[in-house]
Amino acid sequence: MYQKERLDNILDIVKQYGYVTVKYLVGALHYSNATINRDLNVLESQKLVHRTYGGVEIVKKEDVPLPFRYHKMRSEKLKIGKKASEFVRDGDVIFIDASTTTECMAEFLTEKKDITVITNNVAIVTHLSQYGINVICLGGKVVEPPCMLCGTETIENAMKYYVDKMFFASGYVSADGRIAEGGLYYLLHTVIAKNAKEIYHLADHEKFHREVGDRKYLLDFSQLKGIISDYEFSEEIKAAYPDTEFIKV
């Protein structure tokens, strides 16, 4: 395999996972530790990846920093989170992903009985555990400080669980009802979606009709139980997905 092909393969893997260890790349591509490290140095010099101790993460040029996302559309996110919490029933096992929108669900779940919350968001773990809620943290690397976790360990842990309901958010929804996701959480969402009885997508109106770029399409509306948003969906879209609940806040 030529170096360019190796570099492309490494970059594809890192884009998919967001973060991987050098050991994982060595095992996946069957090259020596020294070869992989040389290739990673090349990619870092091109400002495509960032080396960390024992691992590597993708450089995210377009993402809005997490502290800014907490404040952006805050009132809409709180309304969406509150509405989403109404679909959680006593006894449910649910997954809540690491996003500033789904995190708003947490404060409305404290009175639920016998629920289990699985998440990759440390803030949700900290908050709900104070109220005696059974919370499972998927672990992994902090990919968006201070609270958002992901990586190979997170994904491997997620494979163990089956949930009644999945609640997730994504920053990109196409005009025809497809949901796109970047490399950081794409595989995690894919794993959980396969193991969920019902899937709910949470999104404020700014997430719709955005340019997807090189992001991958994760799901379309037909695979959702419901989409919860302040966005006003057209009658054409509702007719195209008759089995999906369009829940307006």
Do 91 and 52 belong together in one domain? no
Domain that holds residue 45: 3-58
CATH (domain of 50): 1.10.10.10
| pLDDT score recorded for residue 2 | 72
CB-based burial, 205-224: b 16+ in 10 Å, e otherwise: eebbeeebeebeebbbbeeb
Helix (H, G, I), strand (E, B) or coil at 228: strand
Given 58, 79, 98, the domain boundary residue is: 58
| Cross-strand bridge partners of residue 94 | 117, 165
Per-residue pLDDT of 149-180, as tens digits, reads 998 899 999 999 999 999 999 888 988 899 99
Six-digit token string for 220: 């379309």
Residue with the bigger pLDDT between 208 and 245: it is: 245
End-to-end alpha carbon distance in the chain: 53
pTM: 0.74
Given 33, 58, 83, the domain boundary residue is: 58
| pLDDT score recorded for residue 52 | 77
| pLDDT score recorded for residue 1 | 58
Give 48's pLDDT tier (boundaries 50, 70, 90).
Answer: confident
Of 77, 125, 126, 129, give the one whose Cα is nearest residue 104.
77
* Count of the separate structural domains present in the chain: 2
Per-residue pLDDT of 208-217, as tens digits, reads 887 676 678 9
Do 52 and 70 belong together in one domain? no
Do 114 and 50 belong together in one domain? no
Per-residue pLDDT of 34-43, as tens digits, reads 999 999 999 8
Per-residue pLDDT of 218-237, as tens digits, reads 999 999 999 999 999 999 99
Decide if 202 contacts 168 (C-beta within 8 A).
Answer: yes
Give 49's pLDDT tier (boundaries 50, 70, 90).
Answer: confident
Kindly tell me if the per-residue pLDDT of 242 is higher than 80: yes
Do 176 and 132 belong together in one domain? yes
Do 104 and 195 belong together in one domain? yes
Do 116 and 176 belong together in one domain? yes
Per-residue pLDDT of 75-125, as tens digits, reads 899 999 999 999 999 999 999 999 999 999 999 999 999 999 999 999 999
Q: Which of 15-19, 82-86, 133-137, 146-150 shows the lowest mean pLDDT across its residues?
A: 15-19
Do 106 and 37 belong together in one domain? no
Kindly tell me if the per-residue pLDDT of 72 is higher than 70: no
Do 44 and 77 belong together in one domain? no
Residue with the bigger pLDDT between 183 and 15: it is: 15
Kindly tell me if the per-residue pLDDT of 64 is higher than 90: no
In percent, the amount of the chain with pLDDT more than 70 equals 92
Alpha-carbon span 169 to 73, nearest angstrom: 14
Asked if residue 242 has a cis previous peptide bond (ω within 30° of 0), the answer is: no
Q: Across the chain, what does the average pLDDT equal?
A: 89
CATH (domain of 134): 3.40.50.1360
